[in-house]
Amino acid sequence: MSEKKIQGHAPRQRTLRQKQAGLGTLFATPPVHGHDTVAFTRGWKSPTNAMNNTEDASEDNDPQEMAGSGPDLSTLSNEGLKAYLQTFAGQIRRNMMVANGSDVMINLVQSEDKFGFRVVDTKTDDSIFIHLNLPADIGSEKHTRLVQEANRLKKAWLMAVAIMGKSKLSITNDAELALPDYWQQDSKSLKNKINDLNDAIEAAAKLLLLQSNPRELGTTISWLAAHYDEWDEAQAAIFSLGHVGEVEQHIGLLGHWRHMDCPPYAEIVLHGYEGAGIRLL
């Protein structure tokens, strides 16, 4: 069984590559770590051209690596990185299954100069290697802490937008409403992003809350961030965030009081990013 690395020249047609249209949520970036291998990260919409050029690789697949249908991440001690890679592998697998109509096996490959996933078509045993172009300090305590904080702040800000409505916050680009893949940003970029998010939350809080003190936003941020995943996963046109009294107990009096009464028994209903409605029960 041969393995094909996705490379930048020597065009040759390959079965697995031809059937990989479902990898449209992955992104090709320049070669890294001295390899002429196209690195993939999430976000690209049209990988076909980059994957049209492949070569056979001389290395053989390790039978131990090929056992099972998912990557063995037991060697990773960082739980955040482990969860990220599991999600990434799951996305690749789902996309390949849609494109191929058959299952694929995905295995994590780690060496001194190689880090990525080996994807094997279970029908043909054809395989490709997807080189993950990740920050050099990924998995470090510092990088993990910055990723977690950036995610927390972004989720809190997105919830604030959902409550207030994107028009009131002058958001015209829906790309701002996506949760970025912070694992793929280096520590310096994350620090800058965290500063920007703190500023954005302070600005949003002036509308979200009747009274806002930047020094007292910690509890508000934590509560908003903690409720993001449930709302996002529901993908519901109408989503109940809870009663006014319950929510205000955690984040403070709502800015809605400026133009309407918000009795504690009323329900806060989210309508995507169009702003919350206050529904009397």
The answer to the question of residue 136 being in a domain is no
Residues 202 and 251 in one domain: yes
Q: Which two tokens stand for residue 76?
A: 């990773």
pLDDT tens per residue, the chain (281 residues)?
Answer: 444 443 322 223 334 433 333 333 333 332 333 222 333 333 322 222 222 223 333 344 343 333 334 677 777 778 888 888 888 888 888 887 777 677 788 888 877 767 788 888 888 888 888 888 788 788 788 999 999 999 999 999 999 999 999 998 899 999 999 999 898 899 999 999 999 999 999 999 999 998 888 788 899 999 999 999 999 888 888 999 999 999 999 998 888 888 888 888 999 999 999 988 888 87
The amino acid occupying position 280 is L
Residues 58 and 169 in one domain: no
Which of 80, 97, 131 terminates a domain? The answer is 131
Residues 81 and 161 in one domain: no
CA distances from 242 to 153, 163, 265 (A): 21, 12, 9
Residues 124 and 25 in one domain: yes
pTM: 0.66
Residues 119 and 153 in one domain: no
* Residues 233/209, Cβ–Cβ less than 8 Å: no
* Residues 36/8, Cβ–Cβ less than 8 Å: yes
> Residue 72 sits in which domain range?
3-131
- Number of structural domains (the chain) is 2
* Residues 63/125, Cβ–Cβ less than 8 Å: no
The answer to the question of residue 75 being in a domain is yes
Residues 127 and 42 in one domain: yes
Residues 125 and 146 in one domain: no
The answer to the question of residue 48 being in a domain is yes
Q: Which of 147, 60, 76 is nearest to 108 (CA)?
A: 76
Residues 178 and 96 in one domain: no
